[in-house]
């Protein structure tokens, strides 16, 4: 099913997983997604993409196709980055999506890393236009950044570029993670002023350890507020206490977002079914999801 059609009907709950890498098998990624489907009934599952020769693009498709197929068919959103992907790679990816019943693609630029260069597409908006012209039936999502993208000189400039993404035909947006809801509410007002009207799904990452939050914040430029640091300090060295602190903080963010009306809530689950389950249960208790 096309995600935009779901968003036009209701507020959504969804989760992100990453495909197998390193020692993780395709089978274990499949069982993680099956467990999340059984426990949280997501409106869709998104599957990340890693270009640059790691072989994970094939796994993105394999896992997205599994989600779309069995055992309880669920909508999947296959990520695709244009850095490191040629036009021929994109064509093959889109054809594979169509054959596998994957109706949604998250069109991204990807991070600039050595060996991951622009080949045929410079910006995500170029990829959006290309997909829309070639496969108009595919529902195309894009990324957005409540605190501004790290490379951009200002949030205003970033929002101007986001407008290009909407003009290119993007059907919906998913936010980068953030830890301060006020940043999102201010961003949302700016989108209205910039006449960006497509639905915006809010992405939240329950952090699971001090190391992980530091790594994520550095790679995506999200600020870590003092209230988060205090919780981590209180959790001390215990990984279990750090995980609990992360889920509790995310639940607080999600409850506040649900109360303030959002188009959708998306959980960066880091492949941890317990994280997806705990956030889903909290959203069920506050009436955001039914089940
Ligand atoms: P763009 O929209 O192209 O923007 C990148 C930068 O270029 C911004 O600073 C923007 O302001 C600027 N820009 C855009 N258009 C123009 C223009 N026409 N002229 C000048 N400047 C312009 N990465 C992965 O590798 N795999 C994933 O699966 C993945 N999933 C993600 C999912 C979400 C929801 C998000 C938010 C990010 C994800 N990322 C992923 C990370 C993403 O690839 C990086 O944040 C990347 O640096 C930017 O991607 P983008 O699609 O936002 O790029």
Q: How far is the CA of 145 from the centre of ligand 1 (A)?
A: 9
SS3 for 244?
helix
Q: Spell out the residues 6+ positions from residue 159 whose beta carbon is closer than 8 angstroms to its own.
A: 190, 191, 194, 196
pLDDT per residue as tens digits for the range 158-178? 999 999 999 999 999 999 999
Q: How far is the CA of 234 from the centre of ligand 1 (A)?
A: 34
Q: How far is the CA of 106 from the centre of ligand 1 (A)?
A: 11
pLDDT per residue as tens digits for the range 236-270? 999 999 999 999 999 999 999 999 999 999 999 99
* pLDDT score at 25: 81
The tokens describing 100, both together, are 């596998």
What is the C-alpha to C-alpha distance for residues 266 and 12, in angstroms, rounded to an integer?
8
Is the ipTM beyond the 0.90 threshold?
Answer: yes
Q: Give the start-to-end residue ranges of the domains of the chain.
A: 3-285
Q: Ligand 1 test: best mutation among 15, 44, 110, 159, most atoms within 8 Å of CB?
A: 110
Residue of higher predicted confidence among 128 and 218: 128
Report DSSP state, residue 177. P
Atom of ligand 1 minimally distant from the CA of 141? 34
Q: How far is the CA of 111 from the centre of ligand 1 (A)?
A: 7
**C-alpha separations of 222 from 36, 225, 252, 264 in Å:** 26, 10, 18, 20
Atom of ligand 1 minimally distant from the CA of 165? 2
Q: Ligand 1 test: best mutation among 149, 175, 221, 263, most atoms within 8 Å of CB?
A: 149
Which residues approach ligand 1 with their CB closer than 6 A? 48-50, 79, 81, 106, 108-111, 123-125, 143, 149, 151-152, 158, 161, 164-165, 174, 176, 203
Question: At residue 53, does pLDDT exceed 50?
Answer: no
Atom of ligand 1 minimally distant from the CA of 151? 9
Does domain 3-285 fall under CATH 3.20.20.220? My reply is yes
| Span of 53-57, 123-127, 145-149 with lowest mean pLDDT | 53-57
Q: How far is the CA of 87 from the centre of ligand 1 (A)?
A: 18
Taking the CA atoms of the chain, what radius of gyration do you get in angstroms? 18
**175 and 202 in contact (C-beta within 8 Å)?**
yes
Active site residues: 16
Q: What is the mean pLDDT of residues 119-139?
A: 98
Report DSSP state, residue 271. T
pLDDT per residue as tens digits for the range 80-119? 999 999 999 999 999 999 999 999 999 999 998 888 889 9
Q: What is the mean pLDDT of residues 31-42?
A: 95
What is the C-alpha to C-alpha distance for residues 155 and 149, in angstroms, rounded to an integer?
8
Q: Ligand 1 test: best mutation among 56, 90, 104, 108, most atoms within 8 Å of CB?
A: 108
* pLDDT score at 51: 67
Percent of the chain with pLDDT over 90: 85
């Amino acid at each position: 099913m096309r995600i935009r059609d779901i968003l036009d009907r209701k507020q959504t709950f969804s989760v992100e997983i990453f495909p197998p890498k390193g020692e993780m098998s395709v089978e274990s990624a499949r069982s993680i997604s099956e467990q999340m489907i059984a426990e949280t009934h997501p409106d869709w599952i998104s599957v990340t993409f890693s270009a640059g020769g790691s072989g994970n693009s094939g796994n993105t498709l394999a896992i997205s196709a599994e989600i779309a197929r069995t055992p309880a068919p669920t909508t999947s959103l296959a990520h695709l980055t244009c850095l490191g992907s040629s036009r021929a790679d994109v064509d093959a990816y889109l054809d594979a999506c169509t054959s596998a019943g994957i109706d949604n693609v998250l069109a991204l630029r990807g991070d600039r890393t050595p060996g991951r260069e622009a080949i045929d597409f410079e910006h995500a908006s170029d990829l959006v236009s290309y997909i829309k012209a070639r496969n108009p039936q595919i529902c195309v999502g894009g990324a957005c950044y409540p605190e501004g993208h790290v490379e951009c000189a200002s949030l205003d400039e970033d929002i101007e570029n986001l407008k290009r993404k909407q003009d290119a035909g993007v059907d919906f947006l998913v936010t980068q993670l953030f830890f301060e809801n006020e940043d999102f509410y201010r961003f949302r007002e700016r989108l209205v002023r910039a006449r960006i009207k497509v639905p915006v799904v809010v992405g939240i990452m329950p952090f699971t350890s001090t190391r992980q939050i530091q790594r994520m914040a550095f790679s995506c430029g999200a600020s870590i507020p003092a209230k988060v640091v205090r919780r981590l300090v209180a959790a001390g060295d215990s990984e279990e206490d750090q995980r609990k602190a992360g889920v509790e903080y995310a639940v607080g963010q999600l409850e506040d977002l649900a109360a303030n009306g959002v188009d959708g809530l998306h959980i960066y689950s880091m492949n941890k079914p317990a994280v997806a389950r705990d956030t889903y249960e909290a959203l069920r208790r506050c009436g955001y999801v039914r089940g």
